[in-house]
C-alpha cells in the first residue's frame, strides 16, 4: 500500500485525491493546510483520517510514503525541501518554484535524497502530445525547423469558471504579492514544456513581452494588487536550431482552456490541438505535402502523471518530467521576465 499525503487542500488538490483514490493499493492518509476550515472540509469530503496545519507536523507523524504538493507557487520551495530531507517521494505542482535558484536547489535536494521527484505538468497526460513527441523523435517529420504554440484562456472576459473579481481562487493568480508569476508562470510553463518536449530539444534563447491590463479601479481588489501579467508573447530558439513563437493569454475570448502546437520539419508537419478537454493530432507528410493535405492520427492512451508517479514510487525508478526539468523550465521563465524588463530598448515605430 502506498500512503499519500496531500499538502495544500484547495481546489486543485481535489483532482489529486480523486486520481489516487481511483488506484488500487493507494491510500490518501492525510492532508496539510494552514486553513483549518479548508482542511476539515477536504478531509470530510474524501474520508481522509488525518490532518495537520504544517508540513513539519506531518513529517513528525511520518506515516506516509509519497506526497502531492498542491500549495500555491510561492510555497512549493519551503514546503518541498523538508519533505525531501525526510526521504519522501514528491509530486509537485507547476511551476516548481518562482525562481531558478530555488528550483535548482529543489532539484539538487531531490537527487541527493534519492527519492522519486516529479513536476505535475498536466498536459503530459495528453495522448496527442506524447504521440507527437514520439513521432518527432523517430524522425517522422525530419529535422524540426519551426514551431508555433499557444495556450488560450478567457476567464477574465467571462464567468464560465466563476467570477474572478470576487473569488480568491482566481484573484491570487493576478497578484505577485500573493506569489503569482501571472500567465507566464501559471500557463506559460505548460506551453513552453508542451512545445519543447514535442520538438525534442530544450530552450536555448528567449525573447518575451509581458502585458498586464487594467481590470479594476486602481488595479486593486483588496487585499489583491492586480499586477501579475495577463498575456505573454515569446520567441524561442531551441538547441536543435528550431525557432518558434509561443503565446498565452487569459483574455482569449472564445477559448476556455485550449492549447495548440504546430511542428514543421524537413519531411512533414504535425498539428496538435487540445480543446474542450479532447486532443487531436494531424500529420502532413510525403506526397500530401504537395497538396497540403493533413491526416488525422489516432494516438494511443497514456497513463496519467499520477499513475506514473505511483508506479515509480513502487518500482523505485525515476520518472519524467522530474525536478530537473522543472528547474530548466524555471530558467526560461526567469529569462522571459529579464527579457521583458529590457523592452525599453526596443525600437518604437
Name the 3-class secondary structure at 204: strand
Strands 203-211 and 231-238: antiparallel
Q: Are 165 and 235 within one domain?
A: yes
**pLDDT at residue 344 greater than cutoff 80:** no
- Residue 180's pLDDT is 87
Q: Return the closest-CA partner of residue 153 out of 166, 162, 144.
A: 162
Q: Are 154 and 287 within one domain?
A: yes
Would 340 be classed as within a structural domain?
no
Arithmetic mean of pLDDT, 85-95: 97
Q: Are 59 and 155 within one domain?
A: no
Would 260 be classed as within a structural domain?
yes
- Residue 112's pLDDT is 98
Q: Sorting pLDDT into bands at 50, 70 and 90, what band is 213?
A: very high
Arithmetic mean of pLDDT, 219-238: 96
Over residues 151-173, the pLDDT tens digits come to 999 999 999 999 999 998 899 99
Cell of 138: 523517430
- Residue 66's pLDDT is 98
Q: Are 35 and 101 within one domain?
A: yes
Cell of 63: 506515516
- Residue 179's pLDDT is 82
- Residue 157's pLDDT is 97
Mean pLDDT for the chain?
96
Q: Are 294 and 151 within one domain?
A: yes
Would 162 be classed as within a structural domain?
yes
Would 22 be classed as within a structural domain?
yes
- CATH code of the domain containing 79: 3.40.50.720
Q: Return the closest-CA partner of residue 127 out of 323, 329, 307, 297.
A: 297
Contacts made by residues 231-234, CB under 8 angstroms, sequence distance 24+: 231/183, 232/182, 232/183, 232/184, 232/188, 232/208, 232/336, 233/208, 233/209, 234/188, 234/192, 234/206, 234/207, 234/208, 234/209, 234/336
**Phi-psi label, residue 217: left if phi above 0, alpha if psi -120 to 50, beta otherwise:** beta
**pLDDT at residue 57 greater than cutoff 80:** yes
Would 341 be classed as within a structural domain?
no
- DSSP H helical segments within the chain, as ranges? 11-21, 36-46, 55-61, 76-85, 100-113, 127-137, 168-171, 182-183, 189-199, 305-315, 323-341
- Residue 169's pLDDT is 85
Cα–Cα–Cα angle for 339, 80, 43, rounded to 5 degrees: 120
Q: Cis before residue 108, ω within 30 degrees of 0? A: no
Q: Are 149 and 260 within one domain?
A: yes
Q: Return the closest-CA partner of residue 48 out of 62, 28, 68, 33.
A: 28
Name the 3-class secondary structure at 56: helix
Number of domains present in the structure of the chain: 2
Q: Sorting pLDDT into bands at 50, 70 and 90, what band is 343?
A: confident
Over residues 272-319, the pLDDT tens digits come to 999 999 999 999 999 999 999 999 999 999 999 999 999 999 999 999
Q: Are 74 and 215 within one domain?
A: no
**pLDDT at residue 86 greater than cutoff 90:** yes
pTM of the full structure: 0.94
Q: Sorting pLDDT into bands at 50, 70 and 90, what band is 330?
A: very high
Buried b (16+ CB within 10 A) or exposed e, 208-232: bbbebeebeeeeebeebbbebbbbb
Arithmetic mean of pLDDT, 78-97: 97
- CATH code of the domain containing 154: 3.30.360.10
Would 328 be classed as within a structural domain?
no
Over residues 107-122, the pLDDT tens digits come to 999 999 999 999 999 9
CA distances from 204 to 94, 190, 196, 241, 287 (A): 21, 17, 10, 9, 33
Arithmetic mean of pLDDT, 88-106: 96
List beta partners, residue 68: 6, 91
Would 339 be classed as within a structural domain?
no
Arithmetic mean of pLDDT, 175-183: 90
**Displacement of CA 2 from its chain's centroid (Å):** 24
Q: Are 140 and 273 within one domain?
A: yes
User: CA 258 to CA 251: how far, in whole Å?
Assistant: 12
Q: Sorting pLDDT into bands at 50, 70 and 90, what band is 349?
A: low
User: CA 167 to CA 242: how far, in whole Å?
Assistant: 41
Cβ neighbours around 262 below 10 Å, total: 18
**In terms of residue numbers, what domain contains 7?**
2-122+306-319
Q: Are 296 and 156 within one domain?
A: yes
- Residue 174's pLDDT is 96
Q: Are 148 and 183 within one domain?
A: yes
Is the Cβ–Cβ distance between 159 and 286 less than 8 Å? no
**pLDDT at residue 347 greater than cutoff 60:** no
- Residue 11's pLDDT is 86
Amino acid at each position: 500500500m502506498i500512503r499519500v499525503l496531500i499538502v495544500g487542500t484547495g481546489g486543485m488538490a481535489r483532482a489529486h485525491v480523486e486520481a489516487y483514490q481511483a488506484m488500487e493499493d493507494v491510500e490518501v492518509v492525510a492532508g496539510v493546510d494552514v486553513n483549518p476550515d479548508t482542511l476539515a472540509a477536504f478531509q470530510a469530503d474524501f474520508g481522509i483520517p488525518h490532518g495537520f496545519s504544517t508540513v513539519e507536523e506531518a513529517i513528525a507523524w511520518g506515516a506516509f510514503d509519497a506526497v502531492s504538493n498542491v500549495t500555491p507557487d510561492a510555497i512549493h520551495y519551503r514546503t518541498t525541501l523538508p519533505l525531501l530531507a525526510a526521504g519522501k517521494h514528491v509530486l509537485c505542482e507547476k511551476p516548481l518554484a518562482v525562481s531558478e535558484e530555488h528550483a535548482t536547489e529543489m532539484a539538487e535536494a531531490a537527487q541527493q535524497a534519492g527519492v522519486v521527484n516529479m513536476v505535475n505538468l498536466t498536459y503530459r497526460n495528453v495522448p496527442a502530445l506524447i504521440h507527437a513527441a514520439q513521432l518527432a523523435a523517430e524522425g517522422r517529420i525530419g529535422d524540426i525547423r519551426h514551431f508555433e504554440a499557444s495556450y488560450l484562456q478567457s476567464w477574465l472576459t467571462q464567468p464560465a469558471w466563476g467570477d474572478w473579481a470576487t473569488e480568491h481562487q482566481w484573484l491570487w493568480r493576478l497578484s505577485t504579492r500573493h506569489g503569482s508569476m501571472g500567465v507566464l508562470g501559471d500557463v506559460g510553463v505548460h506551453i513552453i514544456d508542451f512545445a519543447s518536449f514535442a520538438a525534442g530539444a530544450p530552450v536555448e534563447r528567449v525573447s518575451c513581452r509581458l502585458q498586464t491590463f487594467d481590470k479594476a479601479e486602481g488595479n486593486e481588489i483588496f487585499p489583491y494588487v492586480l499586477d501579475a501579467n495577463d498575456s505573454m508573447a515569446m520567441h524561442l530558439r531551441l538547441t536543435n536550431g528550431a525557432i518558434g513563437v509561443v503565446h498565452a493569454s487569459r483574455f482569449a475570448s472564445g477559448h476556455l482552456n485550449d492549447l495548440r502546437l504546430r511542428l514543421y520539419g524537413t519531411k512533414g508537419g504535425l498539428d496538435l490541438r487540445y480543446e474542450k478537454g479532447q486532443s487531436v493530432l494531424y500529420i502532413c507528410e510525403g506526397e500530401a505535402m504537395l497538396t497540403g493535405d493533413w491526416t488525422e492520427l489516432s494516438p494511443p492512451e497514456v497513463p496519467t502523471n499520477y499513475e506514473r508517479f505511483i508506479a515509480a514510487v513502487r518500482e523505485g525508478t525515476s520518472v519524467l518530467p522530474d525536478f530537473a526539468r522543472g528547474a530548466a523550465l524555471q530558467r526560461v521563465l526567469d529569462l522571459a521576465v529579464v527579457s521583458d524588463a529590457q523592452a525599453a530598448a526596443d525600437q518604437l515605430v
